[in-house]
Structure 1
């Protein structure tokens, strides 16, 4: 419902009746989407008081609005914007009422050219966004497509009732403090909890070494903001997490790929890159690698850390919660092996709890932590203390431990079902990684077949995936695609693989295109 204080411009000197002016302004607001379909308009008495007109004037405007097909009215309920209206967003901002001079309107001005004022960073971000929009397929929820595209947790497994109770308790007990401005480093009990939580994975960190951030994405941003200048080189595994690439590029970094092997980054290639380019940072995902689901071996981890220390290159470790590891024993984080103090660790609750909390953390040496905290304070002052306290209370009651046991069992089951379906339905010339952790695997199609060209055919069959080009610096990986199993119901996994296998068979029968079509999906 719109509040009673809605104000629309009217011109009392105009020969146009006030009721017609009010109607026209409301039509414009509905047409442009400012007043959304189904929205209840202010009571006629309230709007008349706000505009300083007679109530009958507003009643007449509402009646004309209904007669023109913009609204509906019900006695005793009020007047509502019609639900069937499809707003048309204007290309430019609506012009303000023209100034009058001796009864003549001033000549209209050209709208401001906002794009001329955008920074280089904003243009890079928009360029990436345009590419993603151009590659986006239809919304899967509306088309009934079985989607292996979303690398996100299954919201059906969220412990929402338990978290709601915890949140209510926290508001009751600490609301006055938590709803006030808060120290940038974060809620002290949560930082103390994280120090013990990380110990179970072998990562030793004092509470003062931990900075709470708004999800791992803000962690990337703060690290880039603190370390990178335009033109700096960043070494980054390939394939890799697309949003890490986007953040580093937005700050003007030059990205240099290090090939990922079945046991982790190619250390020989990394050594050559470190000697040739002297990068400012090295980014990697040692466990539950996105998109492959593989993990870095202990030998590769030790060699990578030694190379980074020898060349004095900080390592940005994008950590995935080892609770979602499907092998016998998860590998230790790089930060747990770090004896030279070169690793900055990024962690998050997004995969094991709720992505919508936007709650993560950074672990870094004291000199780095001071700069990261300063950058965060400048960006947003602090992460929500209320949500931090609620998560701490949730963890303190051991609700997180119980939840993780449940989801790890379910995600492991979906992983097994996906692997079994792939082995049963696909030929020997299609290969894939066997994920040791995380939510996804990377498939490689037969020679000459493009995942970008396959996607439209797959969507026609009712199955979606993420083309592998999204995970490569130069949009190589044309034959690869990512399949995420975390948010696909178990009962639909085999059917989804069947549809994918049929789409691949269709591609085999078709002449190979000279140039693959580009199609893709939102990536997380």
Structure 2
């Protein structure tokens, strides 16, 4: 048995002895029942104090590798973990669902992954909030990336600050100024998409049992995140001017929420924008009740008629608004780069969670975006999107009017991604999804956007940015054929059962 001691090492000598004995036991060099040298003998051989060897043996005993017997000394114990199980031994399946936390068990909605899967050549998808792939500025980004490989070198693959690369934050400041938001680079934390911002806000502010106020309808991803954090999600109805502040005021008194979540500009799914008057009313209520506002603004740059009114963050003079935005809607989802600007106390918590979650946003994407913005490509690209998406919106509105069926209605959004479409009252909604899918058309049912899940069955959300212009007319034609087929006139028995009065 050969043990070496390095007196210049940082590892204590007793651990050096213990570790070498442990390795010999595991490797089989020291078999079961092997008698280890007496403490005095090993201490003399290694030139160390006896207490050092005693401590090494105690560590072996604590790990279940050896045991001492009076009159026999210290012996190596059998290592049962090293004995392979019999080939025919039955192993019970691991009960995974019993191990999950309550919050993750309750969250089983797969709507986002389902949307991502519902794309393909044989499908006309009006379901996802996805930018048009044909408009991606691939050539420009390829040129910038090639240049970065030549000039940035190793920096391209190094870590970046938790808050994000400073040059990119400076570029985001310029974008915010165009939105009338005053901020400095230090006021920004770069995120892995605004969805991460929603998750961080939930983790920062929500305790189980807290209440969060949202618009009704609202983004289903936010509903999922807030509920997973244990929040009770309360909806406030909207009208043509956005969130109804008259209803909100009573709810604030009754429920005392942690914060208000809102998409005030080209709202998802309705496409409605909160009027300027309502924005001031919402801010005034927040000030009165000392309530933060979480403003989600992924679509504000995509206006097609007139420039939208200033964001809540631009109007806020008292630091109540936490502002989230993203590059996913103006560029493409694969980037996963968004940002938050908020009061310094809040930003510090976002940065702390960013560090714990994934350290920082990937460096190549940040450097690529920074160069794309600084060279004016971003502004030109967004201008092109406004023109292209306005054309696709108009094509969908024209098709809806062309193939219109009785009882159907829709809004004309001034920007964003979506048309919020009302179905006939006599529709059998759960049959509509299947009938449309048979025709190769997918959309998003309205109930996904309501906190209680019991409303919205009279609406569907139609995205007009992802489908090619030539697909939109056919897609709407097939969809409205499915609507016509799925009315109670064609499912008379089922509708009679559904409408049977309770007495």
RMSD: 2.2
Query: Do 1:100 and 1:106's aligned partners in 2 also have CA atoms closer than 8 Å?
Result: no
- What are the Cα deviations for residues 111-152 of structure 1, in whole angstroms up to 9, with x where unaligned? 322222212232133x223x778x87984416x232211221
Q: Among residues 411, 415, 427, which one is paired with 1:449 in the alignment?
A: 427
- How far has the Cα of 1:160 moved from its partner? 1.2
Match of 1:118 in 2: 100
Structure 2 vs 1, CA of residues 323 and 425 (structure 1 numbering), >3 Å: closer, same or farther? same
Task: Give the 5 Å matches for 1:95-110.
Answer: 100=84, 105=87, 107-110=89-92
User: What SS class does the counterpart of residue 203 from structure 1 fall into?
Assistant: coil
What does 1:454-493 align with in structure 2 at a 5 Å threshold? 454-475=432-453, 476-493=455-472
Distance in 2 (CA, whole Å) between partners of 1:450 and 1:306 is: 42
TM-score, scaled relative to structure 2: 0.78
Q: Which runs of 5+ in 1 are unaligned?
A: 1-97, 517-524
* Residues in 2 aligned to 1:474 and 1:425: alpha-carbon distance in whole angstroms: 32
Matches of 1:318 and 1:394, distance apart in 2:
23
Query: Which residue of structure 1 lines up, in the alignment, with residue 149 of structure 2?
Result: 171
Shift of 1:215: 0.3
Q: What are the Cα deviations for residues 142-201 of structure 1, in whole angstroms up to 9, with x where unaligned? A: 6x2322112210111111121122122223322323422221111111111111111111
What secondary structure, in the 3-state scheme, does the structure 1 residue paired with 2:120 have? helix
1:258 match = 236
Conservation of the 8 A alpha-carbon contact between 1:451 and 1:468:
no
- Residue of structure 1 aligned with 2:120, choices 137, 141, 148: 141
Distance 1:140 1:451, change over 3 A: farther
Which residue of the partner structure matches residue 84 of structure 1?
Answer: none
Matches of 2:490 and 2:115, distance apart in 1: 24
Residues 297, 428 of structure 1: CA spacing in aligned structure 2 closer, same or farther, 3 A cutoff?
Answer: farther
Distance 1:138 1:301 in 2: 37
- Equivalent residues of 1:198, 1:204 under 8 A apart: yes
**C-alpha deviation, 1:451, in angstroms:** 3.3
Among 370, 379, 386, the residue aligned to 1:401? 379
Aligned-residue offset at 1:99? 5.3
Tell whether 2:394 aligns with 1:416: yes
CA separation in 1, counterparts of 2:418 and 2:112? 20
Q: Which residue, 486, 498, 511 being the options, matches 2:491?
A: 511
SS of 2:212 mapped into structure 1: strand
Contact 2:405 2:484 in 1 (8 A): no
Q: CA deviation at 1:309?
A: 1.2
Determine which of 468, 481, 496 is the counterpart of 2:475: 496
Cα distance in 1 between the residues matched to 2:152 and 2:103: 40
Residues 398, 140 of structure 1: alpha-carbon distance in 2 compared, 3 angstrom cutoff: closer
Give the conservation status (yes or no) of the 8 Å contact 1:454–1:507. Answer: yes
SS at match of 2:160: coil
Q: Distance in 2 between matches of 1:446 and 1:106?
A: 62
Alignment of 1:362-441 (within 5 A): 362-427=340-405, 429-441=407-419
CA 1:452–1:435 in 2, change beyond 3 Å: closer, same or farther? farther
Deviations 1:71-124 (A, max 9, x none): xxxxxxxxxxxxxxxxxxxxxxxxxxx9558xx646232132222221223213
Match of 2:289 in 1: 311
2:109 — aligned with what? 128
Query: Deviations 1:440-459 (Å, cap 9, x if unpaired)?
Result: 11111121324332111122
In the alignment, the residues of structure 1 paired with residue 269 and residue 299 of structure 2 have an alpha-carbon distance, to the nearest angstrom, of: 15
Q: Is contact 1:99-1:105 (8 Å) kept?
A: no
Is 1:206 aligned to residue 184 of structure 2? yes
- Out of 300, 304, 307, the position equivalent to 1:329 is 307
- SS of structure 2 residue aligned to 1:128: coil
The 10-residue stretch of structure 1 (462-471 or 253-262) with the greater mean CA deviation from structure 2 = 462-471
Query: Hey, what's the Cα distance between the residues in 1 that align with 2:271 and 2:430?
Result: 21
Task: Write the distance in 1 (CA, Å) between the matches of 2:117 and 2:479.
Answer: 17
Structure-2 separation of matches of 1:132 and 1:391: 25
| 1:21-420 to 2 correspondences below 5 Å | 100=84, 105=87, 107-125=89-107, 127-129=108-110, 139-141=118-120, 144-420=122-398
How far, CA to CA, are the matches of 2:115 and 2:143 in structure 1? 38
Find the aligned partners of 1:283 and 1:347 in 2 and give their Cα distance.
13
In 2, Cα distance between the equivalents of 1:287 and 1:170? 35
Q: Post-superposition shift, 1:235?
A: 0.3
The runs of 4+ residues in structure 1 deviating greater than 6 Å are 135-138
C-alpha separation between the residues in 1 aligned to 2:267 and 2:396? 18
For residues 303 and 115 of structure 2, the distance between their equivalents in structure 1, rounded to whole angstroms, comes to 30
- Count how many residue pairs are aligned between Structure 1 and Structure 2: 414
Structure 2: gaps of 5 or more residues:
1-81, 499-503
The alpha-carbon distance between structure 1 residues 440 and 451, as it changes in their structure 2 partners (threshold 3 A), is farther
Distance (Å, rounded) in 1 between the aligned partners of 2:127 and 2:209: 33
1:99 and 1:106 in contact (8 A); partners too: no
Shift of 1:461: 2.6
SS where residue 212 of structure 1 aligns? strand
